[in-house]
Amino acid sequence: MVFATLTGMLKKTLPFLLLALLAGCATQVTNLTPRQQTRNSNNLYPVEVAFNSKQQNVRWETVKPTVIVNGQPFQMHPILMMTNRWEGLVPVPMGTDSVQYRYRFDFDVNGFGKRSAENAVSPMYNLKIVPLQ
């Protein structure tokens, strides 16, 4: 009888537990860069990203974002007056009309009596460069 009751409760609550685990993504990386930009003379294009985390133990002062292009990381710097946004420049050589990039955030979290390193990586994004009209 008790086993049947526990099994029934488990069948009712298991989907909700799984949903909470899947939906409770701890970090969110949001690309704020337009998908296309006009070709410029220095071949450097601004990118902007927002980073949010539901983790209470993130040490925000340790967050170090980079934008990665062709396996090469480029440092980003914080946007003034914003606590969770960064910007950087992506090189797109002359003769190239698009580039793929992603963001990586390295940061520390407080653990059980110690700090540990974690990271979050965005999906790949594509930046298209259009000729000056």
Tens digits of per-residue pLDDT, 47-82?
999 999 998 899 999 999 999 999 999 999 999 999
Fold classification of 26-130 is: Immunoglobulin-like (2.60.40)
SS3 (DSSP) at 18: helix
pLDDT band at residue 14 under the 50/70/90 scheme: very low
Tens digits of per-residue pLDDT, 85-123?
999 999 999 999 999 999 999 999 998 878 899 999 999
pLDDT at 18 over 50: no
pLDDT at 132 over 90: no
pTM for this prediction: 0.78
Instruction: Give residue 10's pLDDT.
Output: 44
Q: How far apart are CA 40 and CA 11, in angstroms?
A: 59
Q: How far apart are CA 28 and CA 83, in angstroms?
A: 14
Q: Where are the beta strands (DSSP E) in the chain?
A: 27-31, 36-38, 44-53, 58-69, 72-75, 77-78, 85-91, 98-110, 115-121, 125-130
pLDDT at 21 over 70: no
